[in-house]
Structures are given as structure tokens and as C-alpha cells.
Amino acid sequence: MKRITSWCVLLLLATATWSLAQTGAGEKAVTDLEKQWLKGQQTNNVALIEPLLADGFVNTDSGGKFEDRAEMIAQAKATKYTSVDYGDLKVKIFGSTGIATGTFKATGTDSSGKPLDAKERFTDTWTKMANGKWQCVASHQSAIK
């Protein structure tokens, strides 16, 4: 009986350790992808952003406008940033879902050619796809007054 209990305890500890390692790896992966998204914005290089967005990606911008993947990419191509930065980036993993939150500050020219001065809070929802890669499936921004 003691031997079975010992094996059960070892199995439980191994499972907990593996689970924590997977969570840590997921947090790092999603954080790195958020940094790639930021780099794409800072350099006005949409090619860095496109592979991050899942086929069914949806966005709700700070004005409440809904955009699908194609609309988001078109807007990103037309927007020209002079400065972009993220703040307070945090990532939490829940199984195969990651939630990234942070602040976004940017200046430049928006997709319609008007001056852009954005201060927003964002939430990005990431999913680990069947191929093992993480992709963003939804994003939401709220203006910071």
C-alpha cells in the first residue's frame, strides 16, 4: 500500500511539474508573438503580423468597429506609424488558450490618412492550433481617456 501511495505522489508531482512547464512555455511563446506584432507595427511591416492572425480572426477596435482578418490586414497596410509601444504586457495561459493584455500607444497616420494619436488598452486571445503554433483569434481595444 505504501508503495502504491508513493507512486501516486510521484505521478502527481510529475504531472504538476509538466503542467507548469507547459504553462511557462506557452506564456513565453505568446509573449514573443506579441513582441513580433509590435515589431511589425514599429517597422510598418505587415508581413510580420499576417501569420499571427488565424483565418477566423476577429477584431473590435476602440471605436467599436468589427473587423475580420482581411479588413484588419488592409487597415494595417494603410496605417503608417511614427512611434508604437506596448506597456504592461501580461500573458496568462489556460490550457491551449492564451490571453495577452497590455497598453498600446502610437502616433502616425491612420488608414484614412488622418493623424493618429492612440492610447488604448488591448486584450488579445491566442489559441494553440492543431499544428502546435499559436495564433491570435480575437483582439479588442478600448480607448484610454
Model-wide pTM > 0.75 = yes
Does the structural domain 2-143 have CATH classification 3.10.450.50?
yes
Tens-digit pLDDT profile for residues 44-99: 999 999 999 999 999 999 999 999 999 999 999 999 999 999 999 999 999 999 99
Domain parsing of the chain, residue ranges: 2-143
Close Cβ partners of 1 (under 8 Å, ≥ 6 residues apart): none
Residue 12: C-alpha distances to residues 19, 25, 51, 68, 95 (Å): 11, 20, 37, 43, 18
pLDDT for position 67: 97
Q: Is 63 exposed, middle or buried (0-12, 13-18, 19+ CB in 10 A)?
A: exposed
Q: How many CB atoms lie within 10 A of CB 59?
A: 20
| Percent above pLDDT 90 for the chain | 83
